[in-house]
Amino acid sequence: MFNFVVNRGVKAASVQRIYNTFASFNLPRYVSSFATVDAEKISGSSPAEVLNLVQGKWVGSSNYNTIVDPLNGDSFIKVAEVDETGIQPFVESLSSCPKHGVHNPFKAPERYLMLGDVTTKAAHMLSLPKVSDFFTRLIQRVSPKSYQQAHGEVFVTRKFLENFCGDQVRFLARSFAVPGNHLGQQSHGFRWPYGPVAIITPFNFPLEIPVLQLMGALYMGNKPVLKVDSKVSIVMEQFLRLLHTCGLPVEDVDFINSDGKTMNKLLQEANPQMTLFTGSSRVAEKLAVDLKGKIKLEDAGFDWKILGPDVEQEDYIAWVCDQDAYACSGQKCSAQSLLFLHENWSHTSFISKLKDLAERRKLDDLTIGPVLTFTTESMLEHMNKLLEIPGSKLLFGGQPLKDHSIPSIYGAIKPTAVYVPLEEIVKDNNYELVTKEIFGPFQIITDYKSNQLPIVLDALERMHAHLTAAVQVIGNTVNGTTYAGLRARTTGAPQNHWFGPAGDPRGAGIGTPEAIKLVWSCHREIIYDIGPVPKNWEVPSST
């Protein structure tokens, strides 16, 4: 039975419904072959421990960061965090990797095959119901979301791995040749690794984002050090152990738990050739300066959707908008933050249907849950500032969740929507407030007339983060992952399409061969010029 302390007004029945399936969960042989934790048994009385991996060894630390359960505040995970005095082994490990990488098209090409085999085995492991369930439930413990949402993350990760089994890793390094100027000359383009690299990923997708970026880095021949937000790093620690079981050499990846200051010092001392950062725009801009531009960014996005004048499939589109705004409690970098409705939608029951869908969400099944980067007070304060704008009004939500034990360091509010008039949004004294990203179940809704479309486009042009959108104005926008058409959404990053921003030369993608090659390799041109030298050639005059 799950050992869960009921306190601070939480309803015992609600807690039981959240965790009722944990009771019968047993670790079978193929989970226990790699796992060092049991998602069912992690609790304040039996905390899990997360270690670091460096130079092929799992190591602890003299400093432990205690992670509290997002649902009840119990101290349930101990993370061995490295401080600034302990980074030297990681610096040495990265520095041991040459700039030409662990492998490349001319060096250790058998590693392409090895990584293809590792990927095949890892994909098979994730296809096993008990392994998939293990990671799904572990994700739920540290980044609470519904079982369906957490399982979707595991499913996408598995499908990504299936895409790169066997020879597909080798094919990522495919080269090309161009005829030269004379006999014996050819120009060859190769994808070349950076060598020592770093990966920094956030809390909201504890498995999908770090696995996809880590495997891409390895495929192209790099030696990565990986840092995942300590609140959720237990998920990736367990997946690394799975990869080792599947044959990945333990020296291939370093894994560090630390605070931001320590990681910044590691990056500056180890000086990786490239760093991939997924997270907030503020931190991204600081790293870009500190690392002298040697960085790829998949940073925050204030994502928007435009519903045009054609009103159809109202129920379906309301459901998509609810999913985009409030699934995972709005904690997706692709979550719908601003919804533009053509005035034709204002004469329908669309908002009422959206409200009904939002109000179905319950803490019992984690379709709404803790917000890990904003407190309840900060989100409600932001809402109240918006409501001071002339013509603004609360459409639904705007209240704290009731009858729960979510600790006060996290947020807990009902799915919320605030209406702000378009003409007020674009005013200089309102624009920054309206477009502030609230990483939670919160969105702005506005409407527009057909002759106001230029104002809508101006509002979009002024935004600085261009990650995802659902639009009918493709030619006048720049978002890197854009959905268009009746079934357009803003969220969702399946393994079959590019996911990442556009409009920024530092932009990073994820998921596809194009994304892997762009982020984790550079172009190298090798010109073969073997002759022969023309008959009767003589030394020409100096030029």
Question: Distance between CA 358 and CA 352 in Å, rounded?
Answer: 10
108's tokens:
């250790």
Who's near 24: CB < 8 A, 6+ residues apart?
none
Instruction: Tell me the CA end-to-end span of the chain in Å, nearest whole number.
Output: 85
251 is catalytic: no
List the helix and strand counts (H, then E) for the chain: 19, 20
Answer for the pair 326, 415: CB distance below 8 angstroms, yes or no: yes
Closest CA to 374 of 280, 301, 283: 280
Question: Distance between CA 473 and CA 457 in Å, rounded?
Answer: 8
**Residue-level length of the chain:** 543
- Residues of the chain by 3-state class (helix, strand, coil), percent to 5: 40, 20, 40
The gap from C-alpha 316 to its chain's centroid, in whole angstroms, comes to: 26
Range 447-456 contact pairs with CB under 8 angstroms and sequence separation of 24 or more? 447/340, 447/341, 447/342, 447/343, 447/345, 447/346, 447/422, 448/340, 448/341, 448/342, 448/343, 448/422, 449/342, 449/343, 450/309, 450/342, 450/343, 452/422, 455/422, 455/423, 455/426, 456/306, 456/340, 456/422
Closest CA to 148 of 328, 270, 396: 328
Residue 89: strand, helix, or coil:
helix
Q: Which helix (H) or strand (E) holds 447?
A: strand 442-448
DSSP-assigned beta bridge partners for residue 79: 50, 65
Which parts of 9-130 are beta strand (E)?
Answer: 48-50, 52-54, 57-59, 64-68, 75-80
The gap from C-alpha 512 to its chain's centroid, in whole angstroms, comes to: 14
CA distances from 185 to 88, 523, 540 (A): 46, 19, 20
Catalytic position from the list 237, 298, 321, 437: 298
In this structure, the strands spanning 295-299 and 274-279 are parallel
333 is catalytic: yes
Answer for the pair 178, 187: CB distance below 8 angstroms, yes or no: yes
Catalytic position from the list 97, 246, 328, 333: 333
Active site residues: 298, 333
